Amino acid sequence: MTAAANDEPLDFGVDPFDRTFGQLRGPIHWPSLTATESASRMSELRDWVRLLVTRFGLEPRTLPPCWARHPAMVEILSALRDHERASYADTAPPTAAMDWLRALRDAQLLLAETGARTQCTIHEHRNQAVPPWATANPGDIDSVAPQCSF
């Protein structure tokens, strides 16, 4: 072999970590995404959620099939995916896998709590109730929220 041949990196195809998790990047702030960015990220997240449900047998009462229609669930799952990606990076400490499993447990509690508020089932989606004052125009706030007196 020549010296030049020894300098070339070996090609083993696609790295399984990159194939599964992609390039590590910062967390996603979903409200800041454009519609195009959101659709792309949602496609990635859906694939990951399918694997998560299969790997851990998540029940519909924890994660209903309509999870993608609930912004809170999307953000919880997105944060959990980010945690998993960082936990299994080459630079992660040996304890990171257990940290990720704790994060999974916490996320399951948050998802179940969110699902309890909507009462979605495997057969029925229900929109999240939004209090009127949260969507009122600033000038109309007095008509939908009681006056607070201190």
Give the pLDDT confidence score for residue 140 in this predicted structure.
64
**pLDDT tens, position by position, for the chain (150 residues)?**
555 555 665 555 655 555 555 555 778 888 888 999 989 999 999 999 999 999 999 999 999 999 999 999 999 999 999 999 999 999 999 999 999 999 999 999 999 999 998 888 888 888 887 777 777 776 665 665 566 555
Give the pLDDT confidence score for residue 80 in this predicted structure.
97
SS3 content of the chain, % helix, strand, coil (to 5): 60, 0, 40
Q: Do residues 58 and 108 touch, judged by C-beta distance below 8 A?
A: yes
| Sequence spans of domains, the chain | 35-122
Q: In Å, how far are 62, 66, 100, 107, 134 from 129, measured between CA atoms?
A: 18, 15, 31, 21, 11
Structure tokens at 130: 């939004």
Give the pLDDT confidence score for residue 101 in this predicted structure.
98
Give the pLDDT confidence score for residue 15 in this predicted structure.
59
Give the pLDDT confidence score for residue 119 in this predicted structure.
86
